[in-house]
Amino acid sequence: MKKKIYVPLAIDVLHSAHINLLKKASKYGYVIVGLLTDKAISEYKQIPMLSYQERFKIVSGLKLVNQIVEQDHWDYTINIKKYKPDYFLHGDDWKNGIQKTLRKKVIKTLKNIKSKLIEIPYTKNISSSEIKLKIEKAGINSENRISVLKRLINSKPIVKVLESHNSLTGLIIENTKLVKNKYINEFDAMWSSSLTDSATKGKPDNSSVDFSSRIISLNDMLDVTTKPLIFDADNGGQIEHISYLIRSLERSGVSAIIMEDKIGLKKNSLFLNQKGAKQDSISSFSKKIKKVVNSRKNSDFLAIARIESFILNKGVKDALKRANAYSKAGADAILIHSKEKNTKQIFSFAKEFKKSKYFKPMVAVPSTYSNVREKELIKNGFKIVIYANHLLRAAYPAMENAVKSILINGRSYELERKIIPISKIINLIKND
Ligand code: SPV
Ligand code: MG
């Protein structure tokens, strides 16, 4: 019987180094490719551009490959134990960096089943990540960008979203990455907040900044970034206009709309005084959700319903009734909003909603209960967390202090050490 060789691959961009690798593998025998799922990849780097199904099709067209199996964890040892290959092949680039620990674990597991590790030299000057960067620089198309959010929801424990109010904040979200516990930690998506977009324009969060203006702002951000964007549409406006709004958002490459179930003159939900603010009827808001669902051309564009029951001092019963109805109307996810300082309200809702046959992924906006950790949200069934206003809140005092410093000192010298050098700003914005 032919010997089996296992090759784990992500194949986001198929290139010549993969072919070299598979040619070497085929010399050892029957080639099994462990194709990494979106979930497995997102455990250690950004979600791939192509979906698993698309990547599967590409690999199945390669005559060097005898079998493809699903590699659903970044930890290869699970499949090694399952398929018991005689050989395991990997590029030698995993000896350093974040894959180092995994390599050690793999070596131990292979030893236990008397299999061998084959490491082949990393092909210099070619890497998927670099090719991906070049493609990203050339831009991402709207269709692809729309789908990324849904894929992230299906593959990550929680999707992390941060408010972006202009292109610069979009770039910060795009480019800031930390390595935490050997994993790359970064934000997955941007939130186009009605509050911060309005505040940036010096206007109140009462829909005085109309959708056309909001869409110009988000197009600026989408021009220079590749991550998905969620649009805060207040209550969606008039139902008769919704299909045009969805058309514009999809054309721009927005991944989701969030609509809140309020009517009347818009008031920000974090205002203590909600006098005059009214909640829409379940039937009327459900119609709006249906309208979004029927208007979208791309089924990966998500309709997210935001429930304001807690904001308007109604209880969990009202929130649940609405969640079930909105889910039935076609909402892909439910944002349960709260302006309490703790998570009691949203977790009591989550506990009940999880039992519902209409359960949908839940979204949290921890603006007032900011002490909650993401792991607690995950434990309570939340799939998206939106940090809704933090970049603007960080920028405002920094700018105000700069103004004060120049006014106090009659020069800008004292400020220099607190702000970034001009050279850094120049280099931050690429000119190519
Ligand atoms: C926003 O960021 O505009 C929101 C969230 O809608 S909140 O400010 O809490 O209403
Ligand atoms: Mg808003």
Is residue 135 scored above 70 in pLDDT?
A: no
Rounded alpha-carbon distances, angstroms, from residue 387 to 81, 100, 201, 320: 40, 33, 20, 24
Q: How confident is residue 373, by pLDDT bands cut at 50, 70 and 90? A: very high
**Domain total of the chain:** 3
- Would you please indicate which residues are annotated as catalytic (active-site) residues? 205
Residue 96 has pLDDT above 90, yes or no: no
pLDDT for 89 beyond 70: yes
Considering the domain architecture, whether residues 151 and 271 belong to the same structural domain is answered as yes
134 in a structural domain: no
Whether residue 60 sits in one domain with residue 167: no
Residues 89 and 104 in one domain: yes
Q: Which residue has the higher pLDDT, 272 or 359?
A: 359
* 151 within some domain: yes
Residue 94 confidence (pLDDT)? 84
Residue 197 sits in the same domain as residue 93:
no
What's the pLDDT at 139?
Answer: 63
Mutate which of 335, 367, 393 for ligand 1 pocket (most atoms within 8 A of beta carbon): 367
Question: Residues of the chain with pLDDT > 70: what percent?
Answer: 95
Task: Mark which of 96, 129, 162 sits at the end of a domain.
Answer: 129
Domain boundaries, position 303: 140-388
pLDDT in tens, 208-242: 999 999 999 999 999 999 999 999 999 999 999 99
Residue 42 has pLDDT above 90, yes or no: no
Task: Looking at the structure, tell me whether residues 252 and 197 fall in a common domain.
Answer: yes
Residue 268: predicted pLDDT? 83
- 268 CA to centre of ligand 2 in angstroms: 6
Per-residue pLDDT band for 345 (boundaries 50, 70, 90) equals: very high
Here the CATH number for the domain that contains residue 96 is 3.40.50.620
Q: Which ligand sits nearest to residue 163's alpha carbon?
A: 1
78 Cβ contact partners less than 8 Å away, ≥ 6 residues apart: 72
**Residue 90 is assigned to a structural domain of this protein:** yes
Q: Are 205 and 64 found together in one domain?
A: no
| Minimum CA distance residue for ligand 1 atom 5 | 388
Q: Is residue 326 part of a domain?
A: yes
Same-domain check for residues 203 and 177: yes
Closest-lying ligand 1 atom to the alpha carbon of residue 195? 3
Residues 364 and 288 in one domain: yes
The mean predicted confidence, pLDDT, of the chain is 92
Counting ligands in written order, the one closest to the CA of 389 is 1
Report residue 48's pLDDT band, with 50, 70 and 90 as the boundaries.
Answer: confident
pLDDT band for position 419 (cuts 50, 70, 90):
very high
> What is the atom index within ligand 1 of the atom nearest the CA of 339?
9
CB atoms within 10 A of CB 309: 23
Same domain, 384 and 411: no
Q: Average of pLDDT values for 18-23?
A: 90
Residue 240 per-residue DSSP state: G
Q: Measured in angstroms, how far is the CA atom of residue 316 from the centroid of ligand 1?
A: 20
Q: Is residue 358 part of a domain?
A: yes
Radius of gyration of the chain measured on its C-alpha atoms: 25
| Cβ count near 396 (within 10 Å) | 13
State yes or no: pLDDT of 129 exceeds 70: no
Mind listing the pLDDT tens digit for each residue in 285-343?
999 999 999 999 999 999 999 999 999 999 999 999 999 999 999 999 999 999 999 99
Whole-model pTM: value is 0.86
Residue 135 in domain: no
Compute, in angstroms, the gap from residue 195 CA to the centroid of ligand 1. Answer: 6
pLDDT attached to residue 97: 77
In a domain, 11, yes or no: yes
Beta-carbon count within 10 A of 329 CB? 21
Residues 6+ apart with CB under 8 A from 332: 150, 256, 302, 303, 304, 360, 361
At 93, is the pLDDT very low, low, confident or very high (cuts 50, 70, 90)? confident
Residue 234 lies in a domain: yes
Ligand 2 mean position to 371 CA, how many Å? 21
Per-residue pLDDT band at 91 (split at 50, 70, 90): confident
412 and 296 within one domain: no
Strand partners, 33: 7, 68
pLDDT at residue 127 in the model: 66
DSSP 281: P
Q: What is the pLDDT of residue 421?
A: 92
- The answer on 151 and 245 residing in a single domain is yes
Model confidence at 362, in pLDDT bands (50, 70, 90)? very high
Q: What is the CATH number of the domain that holds 305?
A: 3.20.20.60
- Mutate which of 163, 164, 195, 211 for ligand 1? The one with the most ligand atoms within 8 Å of its CB, which is 195
Distance (Å) from CA 191 to ligand 2 centroid: 10
Q: Who lines ligand 1 at CB under 6 A?
A: 193-195, 205, 232, 268-270, 365, 367, 388-389
Same domain assignment for residues 313 and 408: no
Q: Of the candidates 129, 162, 192, which is a domain's last residue?
A: 129
Q: What's the full length of the chain, in residues?
A: 432
